[in-house]
Structure 1
């Protein structure tokens, strides 16, 4: 049996106990890497949770994180304070409070080495000292940490081609041409293995909003395929950690774009090409938070190598010319809808823009995502370029100004409708949207054209304006828009 004490006694890991000496006898079932501020839905009993503390921003952050580990019954937390100047004291205190053993990982020790050594220890404890195929797979996972190298070794050991597919349908990596048939669409969530067109499809676990799947070109690949899927999970965790660290280095740029600041200075340090035309994508997951929204956003535009990160409650991505991102994202989300773990997801875009125009592109994306949220669907996407200019102008006004403009321009008409039970406001809007054509508007309202003319004259009288004057029409129409 492998315990927390067993891991502390592995000399090459050099881990140091910070708190939890009374719980070192807890049995360890596996090792799990996460940087989510709230990992509660993904951790389970007996796991050693490995974390670089990228979720820690300041005092108070540790309590909810460690409490989630305690509720799940994890065996221990192994943490590296390389990015925080050592393990913060509130992390130590939270672990002591919840009786979670805290193991300090040396800052120079990679998570790949820890993962390999713990996996080997667990295998030995189960009486399955890795040999042959399993040992070669483990070596491939640690000697060359790239996913393609791992799949190549897996294909050799299994005697069949292997592919890793995103839940969005994207081919992440593979050892041959993609298989025929839609393996993602035919995968059955909850099954350990689904078989389609002669291929076995296995889930790749982990705390990811959009899951990955392992496909093997054989209907019965055996237990080794499960081992390969677990190693793919670990490889993805490493890739995700790199992405999150990259996102942290890009935080100044994302904050400057989202909230205002020296964009040009922050952009120069981002690594993005200076002469690029950039799309700003903004995602919101109202029920799940910005961290998971960023995970989904990163997966949707992974091939474009975006700068992705969370700013407040929103997730942003800066993407250099992603092409038809709207169509591609819509297709990807439709594909992943059965597998995605978000309750609601809204996505908007702005741009493309040069460095000087990134703030405006971010504002355009913000208006687009707000419009997506008002549509009411679980998954909604709106491209800023598809929003009419007058809608953007109306959406950009502060709420107080919108209410003031509405009352000043439309007040007499609104009061008349309320008192008389009429709907002249609607008549005026239809009239303006029909390019001020009495004939077209009358047809749309199913009234006689003379009736339409009378209503418009009455509305003009109440408002004290000429609704046939173009400038007046623009003012009234913008005031009408802020009511929607």
Structure 2
């Protein structure tokens, strides 16, 4: 503890005041509590006029002067208890004014309540004690303001270094003497100082909290406690467009500390906004390379990617596409940038008209699974393909994404259901319109034209097989089919007509 800090220990250390403790055992922490002010009063119950964090000075005129102190022990005990309950941090007794010394019962009461009690000799005026504490308060305030100015200068210089953000985080941690971390828009810890200072469980819990803050999208500051460690979180960027979070392993900061953190947030926010412009340029370039790959000629994409991000994943590859909303694409893209840097040659991505396109080696799906878990998105995944078939693979990925329900959906799984399974409500509406004349005729005339047509098509248009399935003569089947042709106005000998009617009947089965 700084000897100049406004504490009872600092007051007792002032030799010019000649103060001395009057109790035998004192909790060291009690001596180091900050003193907000020093006040003097001889009221028996001054607590209605006091606030927390005061040192109270008294000459003892409020106590009974007649009788033995032991007989008045309850008076002293009640007095000290009131002071302790009010948050008084220490009691000074001025001797040789009303009493020759400190009453023994008062010493005992302070000892019982663990209230620091000290003697103020006659030649030390109370005003000198109060002034000494006021000077300590002023000195501390000046020191903190000086520290804040020096810290802001140091942080501003750090921001000019090549990795301005990393240097700023390190300088803030140094100035606050604690751990500081910066999380990006994807919730990934991108910079920290000192590195690895948090335990694995604490780091994981903190990342979950940060991810929740980013998903809410509101600009805010918050405090939390993970185990025994308090944290302060401050968002970076505008509401709805958060660029990250700064986490500080500290609870409530004083005014000067908050000023320094605010300066860091302002500088970090500006740096991130500048990086956003560069990020938009990278995103546009990646989108252009996706369009280039769709032409079936990967030469330009190979050369550009190799120069900027490393080689494209080796063929055969799988192409994936997400359903991420536009508001979340930035956060996902930032995480993918980190992965692409870590997994050079094993991941490429870029934006398309309806989502993020991802390219990974055919045998590697781990990155996609982690992406799904982190952001709760759906990803459609193509069959293995070469870059000359990129456009077709992207089409497969879109089909798999649109027909998938959750997680990663492979096109191979979707394709097993067949072409007709992809027909939706529009196809069923057309099917009902196509077969309506037969349905209406059956309803009005009691015929079985729809049933007969369906059995005949299922039996590969064999009259004999259809007759056996329906339990009628083959001439009856021929007669019904001829009637169906007239009702529909269609030629059943045409393969196109048969195929269309078969598809309509299948569409109405779902």
TM-score (norm 1): 0.48
Name which one, 1 or 2, has greater alpha-carbon Rg.
2
Greater relative contact order (Cα 8 A, min sep 6): structure 1 or 2?
1
Relative to its length, the structure with more helix (as a share) is 2
